[in-house]
A and B are shown apart, each in its own frame.
Chain A
């Protein structure tokens, strides 16, 4: 996998709802860096994620620009931005097998898909799980598959929406190490939304407080 080492640039972003300003941000996230955003509920964390990923509801008005390297993103639809998402729930497609989920992330024209899938599963210690029903996996296993699915799609930036909050403490440490490790290695600019300080510390990057 060729690392895409480009920075995610948020330029003069302002999000308003019915005239009232909710959120402003002007920041760059360097490749491999994790920006942690913390804040109480209702402070606009999900709105920020929605804006960055391209799912902002038309009820909101957004000004400013979003760049990945030199490419302007804010006019592009979500599927063309190359920004990956990890949610609280692993969100593995229940109608596809584990391999099907992983293949879903691969670009359509990729070669040797089967090998890539097998290699990804090996990397997270789930070798041989290709034909399993995602519903039969434990929470931790599902989270690992979700991460690999994300990485297989070769994103150029990643958004994390409290991805560890549903895991128990021991698992959480493991996952943090895994996720941040992989993202750093791939050199992806990452934005983490959380209200767990331990997450912020493990991320090891700058922390912003909203609200």
Chain B
């Protein structure tokens, strides 16, 4: 569906033969090489930085109050949709943005905003910052889920008894064991970062933009003959993602070899303070940045006219909320019905698969990579093909199709979030149940599932958040008729009224936030009288 037009075959536009013209046009397009490099590097650098920050924090974290507070703050950040983070960050760091307003004219003496290219900078730094803000909580959550089975406290204790500083001990003893477990999430981050569209539109470079943005523009170009070039671009995008993944994999091999010596060379304290300080500082900075971005959105949603360089709006008004709320009832219902349906179906599928694997003691499913395919192929490309395919078999856009489309993206995340928890559940629980003569379905419902309630709810919250944030699948597979909070927000964003956009972005954030809060609270309520269960939650 995508490959064919890339090579010239699209009968409805008169393309009846295969040829490479589309590729020639693509290659000749001004700035293509820059776009490709931008996508490639921003993807890799984002993943590297995010991993670095997460690892540093975990190494430095000592279980103190501050550390636990930071951990608790990070999970809800996962709930904020990418576009909302992008909006908030854009407003925060812009030359006329929140940070400058708070600092002016007191610290900077600026009466007019400086003419600095910060947001939409040509190197993509703003884009990478936004991506890192979103991916750090994700990687942190995945790491935290995978850590317990490694018994990190024991390893670190042993190393410390041998004279290693705690941070170094963690890096040398725990990280090498942790990395293979979070490898798949890291790949997911790379794939997302190289092909992201909505964040790139808001924060990314513009002349030229990243490849994914260009491809989207070409697909929507009124000149319908651009469609060929767009398809070629989509194939190229896929290639860029694969190249980035391959580079990372090569990097892994290289690092493995280089670090063998470092791991065993006995250096015990060099870099320890840097780790201890940097780890906490970086994550704290990330959290504060994200919270400030949100604060900016909140301020804007109730702002009257806000002159630069005032620190706060001149007047406050509830007008914007009142204007949006009536029109938002139907989209909210749609968002929830699609999200809950997709999450439920995905949960059933994933739990069934994991339970089956657990019962028959199967090794980690080798076909897992199939699951992650939708995360790696650029959405723009294969969704358009999906639409045409569905039309060809007379499946009209409708809610069911949208749910199916969301499932494609929700299932991998649910699987990613739940599989470690499932696997690390002590098999003896089920063995005890079965040895008591209980049939396996009861062992599942009454033993395994309750013990996994907290991880299951968290995984569901993650997948609900993923579904809520989907834009292209809802738009294309619903034929534009299923409006969700996200489609409303994006449509409103094209109108540039930042206040209304802020209202919608906040609504967009509220829903997954409620999901995560429920995921945290429900186990606490259900197991109010069961101390050990709450400890696990």
Contacts and interface: CB of A to CB of B under 8 A. Distances in A.
B264 interface: no
Interface string B398-434: 0000000000000000000000000000011101111
B435 A95 contact: no
Contacts of B362: 58
Contact of A105 (B360, B429, B436, B532): B436
Given A79-B443, A133-B530, A136-B531, A149 B435 contact: no
Contact of A95 (B360, B434, B443, B530): B530
B15 interface: no
Main secondary structure of the interface of A (DSSP, over half): loop
B110 interface: no
B447 interface: yes
A interface, size bucket: 20 to 34
Given A94-B530, A95-B533, A133-B529, A55 B437 contact: no
B24 interface: no
Nearest to A88: B428
Contacts of B434: 54-55, 77-79
B432 A85 contact: yes
- The contact size tier of chain B is 20 to 34
A91 interface: yes
A86 B443 CA distance: 17
B444 to A, nearest CB: 11
Nearest to B433: A104
Contacts of A57: 361
A85 B527 contact: no
B440 interface: yes
Contact of A78 (B431, B451, B530): B431
Contacts, number: 78
Given A91-B432, A95-B450, A82 B437 contact: yes
Contact of A93 (B361, B427, B429, B439): B429
A108 to B, nearest CB: 8
B450 A87 contact: no
Q: Is the interface of B mostly helix, strand, loop or mixed?
A: helix
Nearest to B443: A79
B438 interface: yes
Given A77-B440, A79-B438, A104-B438, A93 B447 contact: yes
A32 interface: no
Contacts of B435: 53, 78-79, 83-85, 153, 155, 159
A189 interface: no
Nearest to B451: A95
Nearest to B360: A58
Contacts of A181: none
Interface string A125-156: 00000000111100000000000011001110
When A and B form their complex, which 6 residue pairs have the shortest distance between CB atoms, in order from nearest? A94-B532, A135-B532, A85-B435, A135-B531, A78-B434, A79-B434
Interface of A: 53-55, 57-58, 77-80, 82-85, 87, 89, 91, 93-95, 97, 104-105, 107, 133-136, 149-150, 153-155, 159
